[in-house]
A and B are shown apart, each in its own frame.
Chain A
């Protein structure tokens, strides 16, 4: 039974095809009718896709329209950039530096005249570059705007020498770096003479301009030394101050408060005991740190009086390799001060107020019972790993470090501080960036990103209004095309359905005979299905043939308006596949009705002519 069934089923496509060939005129009519619907629909879709995409790509998707920039100078932390990078709709964001910190000079290779350019930071994935036929510059490379390339007469592959100048301690200094031109932007990317380079290069230029050295590039300059900051200062004096003197200490010193402190508080904050008969004052400013300028001003006011100033920081915790917390006190004393306070003279000596040198600062005195291993880490903005040298022991209850180190650590709690690997000195890591250049995935994302930044309290520049105008136009087009496509699809379905149904009606008798000679209901069911698919396939082929001829004509006609590679009428593969799938499904659905009708045919009713 099994093989026989297959046998009958296998005959159905052949029979259905024979029937179509026999009625070739009618079949041709059906195919033409179908192609007459599919062909124009394809052309319509091709035009929609071609024109709209061409316009979109030319205009709407021009990165210039997707750019979002701050209108003022703010400070943005690296974490802020990380957050924005993952904000929905953001495709690319790169920090920028102050405009004045990014001016370069390049010598014209022929005339020798020095030309001035804006240096703009870029990075991998920069749409402004990638979508204007240039790669993102690598280290040692740059990308020129059309105007910059014109001014310099350079092309892709040429090498230019970028020069940067600064004046430091009254001297003019200059550094230079050779950059390969990795690409030249299309004119639409902007009309200003600009040079795009990797962010790292731009930051080095900025650092150089600010007077710092850039050792990897061989540019000399200062090291960005961290400033010292404290929670407050303990002032120890052999006797009390009179009220006028006392008030004088909080006038023009940066301190806002002065309180008398008990001995116990002095010990708690500075580890030293208050000598008998001495008076202690705590000076601080709520909400802001005590800085070196404040401490210097205080010294000035106290000149001529016996006093000891002990800057303090609370809650500094170091962690050693075993994870144990060490809470040191900061204490820097001159020999005289140590004598007055009756504590041992620390090997690092008196308070200098400077973060240099790190070798002097990274030392530690430990109480006798304290057992210590040199490696510690401080969890500030960045993890600061240090090797502390055990410089001896102390009779005081707590481990002691130089007060300068405490000042560095307090600063490290708010700003990035690192130990420079080359010099071994403490250095500030740059805090934030003064601007950015952001591009969204598509213009549709601009308003959202714009709103988000506005809500962060930033004043932002973006082409929001232009975008809205284009979007309205785009939506209108899309709706119009959808309507026309819907009409076309409806027409195609109607043609398929009605013609297949009619074909079954016409073949009633033949289907009855087929039943009589041994085909089951199931077998005749496939007859219209196969025919439907065959007609659909032929209709699609003819429709696509018409489309290709027409689209070639259209593209040829408008060739003069189009850039190479652009097409007025083009269908992406997904559309083509979609249309074939849709037509096949509709043909199957349409023939399903006809097939159902075929199975209802009662041979006894149709085989006789009367």
Chain B
């Protein structure tokens, strides 16, 4: 569904330079793709680029294929180049869901409003059925009326999964969704995420530092770090076998 080739991103921060190379990455529809690596390896950077909130420095191919075939796929890099910011926002809104480390729920909205927000922004009409079913499935149906601040971290992450799924996206991007909970809970949350995405045929990209958590991923990419000259860190992302 997403296909990229020879992506290069260079970031400069306080004198040090970080370079990320991704020779090839593919997210097949309905699959679970894991990006595994230690902190600072560039996995979040890659996820932001996949989420269309960060522009690659250069990339050979960066395509979004929504079932129309690779030849007709959307050229995301071209949209960046042409500064079609609203088109990128539109793609985010229509086809993507996002789960942040700490949920990323808006504290001023109730869980229900948070969950329904992407669907409303997208302009969906009949999301309520989907939301209540998923909420029951994730075991948070009784939390929906509360504000996120009154939820446990586990409930919050499940609410974030629900929000990412509520508008029926084709791709869910999860950034360390379980970093804030203990391993046992993390496993349960991950199982739920995998469960709901598999049922709806949604592709999911999970960023994590914990290989065990994503043992059942369809594809796993890992990062190799190398120290270049002084102040230069190079990372390369390759598919693990």
Do A and B make up one complex? yes
Query: Residues of A at under 8 Å CB distance from B?
Result: 1, 3-5, 7-8, 11, 15, 18-19, 21-23, 509-510, 513-522, 602-604, 607-609
Roughly how many angstroms separate A518 CA and B117 CA in the complex, as a whole number? 10
Residue pair B104, A513 in contact (C-beta under 8 Å): yes
Question: Inside 8 A of A607's CB, which chain B residues have their CB?
Answer: 100, 104, 175
Cβ distance B150 to chain A, nearest Cβ, rounded Å:
12
Residue pair A608, B93 in contact (C-beta under 8 Å): no
Residue pair B48, A604 in contact (C-beta under 8 Å): yes
Residue pair B123, A7 in contact (C-beta under 8 Å): yes
**Which residue on chain A has the smallest CB distance to residue B118?**
A517
Query: Residues of B at under 8 Å CB distance from A?
Result: 44, 48, 51, 53-54, 85-86, 89-90, 92-94, 98, 100-102, 104-109, 113, 117-118, 120-123, 147, 163, 175
Residue pair B106, A514 in contact (C-beta under 8 Å): yes
Residue pair B121, A513 in contact (C-beta under 8 Å): no
Known: A22-B107, A603-B48. 8 other contacts (CB 8 A): A8-B93, A15-B108, A19-B108, A23-B108, A514-B106, A516-B104, A517-B93, A609-B102
**Which residue on chain A has the smallest CB distance to residue B86?**
A520
Roughly how many angstroms separate A8 CA and B98 CA in the complex, as a whole number? 18
Could you say which of A18, A516, A520, A608 contacts B51, with CB atoms under 8 Å apart?
Answer: A516
Residue pair B122, A518 in contact (C-beta under 8 Å): yes
Q: At the interface, is chain A mostly helix, strand, loop or mixed?
A: helix
Question: Inside 8 A of B89's CB, which chain A residues have their CB?
Answer: 515, 518-521
Question: Inside 8 A of A1's CB, which chain B residues have their CB?
Answer: 90
Question: Inside 8 A of A604's CB, which chain B residues have their CB?
Answer: 48, 53-54
Cβ distance B121 to chain A, nearest Cβ, rounded Å:
5
Residue pair A517, B100 in contact (C-beta under 8 Å): no
Cβ distance A504 to chain B, nearest Cβ, rounded Å:
14
Question: Inside 8 A of A518's CB, which chain B residues have their CB?
Answer: 89-90, 92-94, 118, 121-122
Roughly how many angstroms separate A607 CA and B121 CA in the complex, as a whole number? 19
Residue pair B92, A513 in contact (C-beta under 8 Å): no
Cβ distance B215 to chain A, nearest Cβ, rounded Å:
25
**Which residue on chain B has the smallest CB distance to residue A4?**
B123
Residue pair A3, B109 in contact (C-beta under 8 Å): no
Roughly how many angstroms separate A458 CA and B10 CA in the complex, as a whole number? 91
Residue pair B106, A510 in contact (C-beta under 8 Å): yes
Residue pair A4, B90 in contact (C-beta under 8 Å): yes
Residue pair A11, B104 in contact (C-beta under 8 Å): no
Question: Inside 8 A of B92's CB, which chain A residues have their CB?
Answer: 516-518
Roughly how many angstroms separate A522 CA and B138 CA in the complex, as a whole number? 34
Instruction: List 11 contacting pairs A-B, 8 Å CB cutoff, sorted by A.
Output: A5-B86, A510-B107, A513-B104, A515-B89, A517-B92, A517-B117, A519-B121, A520-B89, A521-B85, A602-B54, A604-B48
Residue pair A608, B90 in contact (C-beta under 8 Å): no
Cβ distance A319 to chain B, nearest Cβ, rounded Å:
83
Roughly how many angstroms separate A607 CA and B120 CA in the complex, as a whole number? 21
**Which residue on chain A has the smallest CB distance to residue B98?**
A516
Cβ distance A522 to chain B, nearest Cβ, rounded Å:
7
Question: Inside 8 A of A521's CB, which chain B residues have their CB?
Answer: 85-86, 89
Cβ distance B13 to chain A, nearest Cβ, rounded Å:
11
Residue pair A11, B53 in contact (C-beta under 8 Å): no
Question: Inside 8 A of B120's CB, which chain A residues have their CB?
Answer: 7, 11
Residue pair B108, A21 in contact (C-beta under 8 Å): yes
Q: A513-B100, A519-B121 are in contact. Are A608 and B108 (CB under 8 A)?
A: no
Question: Inside 8 A of A19's CB, which chain B residues have their CB?
Answer: 106, 108
Question: Inside 8 A of B104's CB, which chain A residues have their CB?
Answer: 509, 513, 516, 607
Cβ distance A11 to chain B, nearest Cβ, rounded Å:
6
Roughly how many angstroms separate A609 CA and B90 CA in the complex, as a whole number? 25
Cβ distance A6 to chain B, nearest Cβ, rounded Å:
9
**Closest 8 A/B residue pairs (Cβ):** A518-B93, A22-B108, A520-B89, A19-B108, A604-B48, A7-B123, A603-B53, A604-B54
Question: Inside 8 A of B117's CB, which chain A residues have their CB?
Answer: 11, 517
Roughly how many angstroms separate A609 CA and B100 CA in the complex, as a whole number? 10
**Which residue on chain A has the smallest CB distance to residue B122?**
A518
Residue pair A608, B100 in contact (C-beta under 8 Å): yes
Residue pair B109, A516 in contact (C-beta under 8 Å): no
Q: Which of A3, A510, A517, A602 has the most CB of B within 10 A?
A: A517
Cβ distance B213 to chain A, nearest Cβ, rounded Å:
19
Could you say which of B54, B86, B94, B106 contacts A513, with CB atoms under 8 Å apart?
Answer: B106
Cβ distance A558 to chain B, nearest Cβ, rounded Å:
47
Cβ distance A526 to chain B, nearest Cβ, rounded Å:
14
Residue pair B53, A602 in contact (C-beta under 8 Å): yes
Cβ distance B235 to chain A, nearest Cβ, rounded Å:
17
Question: Inside 8 A of B86's CB, which chain A residues have their CB?
Answer: 5, 520-522
Cβ distance A531 to chain B, nearest Cβ, rounded Å:
11
Cβ distance A506 to chain B, nearest Cβ, rounded Å:
11
